[in-house]
Amino acid sequence: MAKLIIGIVGENAAGKTTATEYLKNKFNAVTFRFSDMLYDILKRMYIEPNRGNLQMISTILRQNFGDDIMSKVIAKDAKNSTSEIIITEGVRRPSDVPYLKELSNFILIYIKADEQTRFSRLANRGEKPDDAIKTWEDFQKEGLQESEQQILAIAQTANSTIDNNGSLEETYAQLDKIVAQYL
């Protein structure tokens, strides 16, 4: 079987990690998250991995090593993986896509959810240290950050879109249908 590489794009708290975890569990997929390398750097520097620090280190890396530095790393990781299904979670910029599209059997999935739904999920999930204390205004302001700005443009190029405003079962069914098209 050929390797299937799935890129996942979506706004903050749209359900990217939920979709990734489902695919990992159901299909024994391997995941490469854009944010993992940022977490690694911040952890090594003993800096809190809150959203602001993650965005800052991402901007610093891209400004100093090229806008495509993180996508080159992810594409190499995906290419070198021996897994049959690979998920690249956290596509956020147009420069993230070309290297992935060069890989054979790459598809891009856009996961969307309403803003209020995303805010509610963010407040309840506790993925980042500052999620639980985030206000609606903070959430909206973060949506204006450079790293969030290009997501909708990238979504326009997606092979498939998942509406993640419903139940987990509905989301999983949409994922299953998409994967079945390519396996």
CA dist 1 to 29, 73, 96, Å?
A: 14, 24, 26
Residue 46 lies in a domain: no
Give the pLDDT score at 35: 87
- The CATH number that applies at residue 10 is 3.40.50.300
Cross-strand partners of 7: 88, 108
DSSP secondary structure, the chain, as one string: ---EEEEEE-STTSSHHHHHHHHHHHH--EEEEHHHHHHHHHHHTT----HHHHHHHHHHHHHHH-TTHHHHHHHHHHHH---SEEEEEEE-SGGGHHHHHTSTTEEEEEEE--HHHHHHHHHHH--STTGGG--HHHHHHHTTSHHHHTHHHHHTT-SEEEE-SS-HHHHHHHHHHHHHHH-
For the chain, how many structural domains are there in total? 1
How far is it, in rounded angstroms, from Cα 47 to Cα 129?
12
Residue 53 lies in a domain: no
Residue 61 lies in a domain: no
Residue 119 lies in a domain: yes
Give the pLDDT score at 146: 63
> What would the pLDDT profile of 10-69 be if each residue is shown by its tens digit?
998 899 999 999 999 999 999 998 889 999 999 999 999 988 899 899 999 999 999 899
Which domain does 134 fall in, by range? Answer: 4-36+68-182
Residue 43 lies in a domain: no
pLDDT grade, residue 95 (50/70/90)?
A: confident
User: CB within 8 A of 108, min separation 6: which ones?
Assistant: 6, 7, 8, 9, 91, 97, 100, 154, 157, 158, 159, 160
Residue 166 lies in a domain: yes
pLDDT grade, residue 1 (50/70/90)?
A: low
Residue 78 lies in a domain: yes
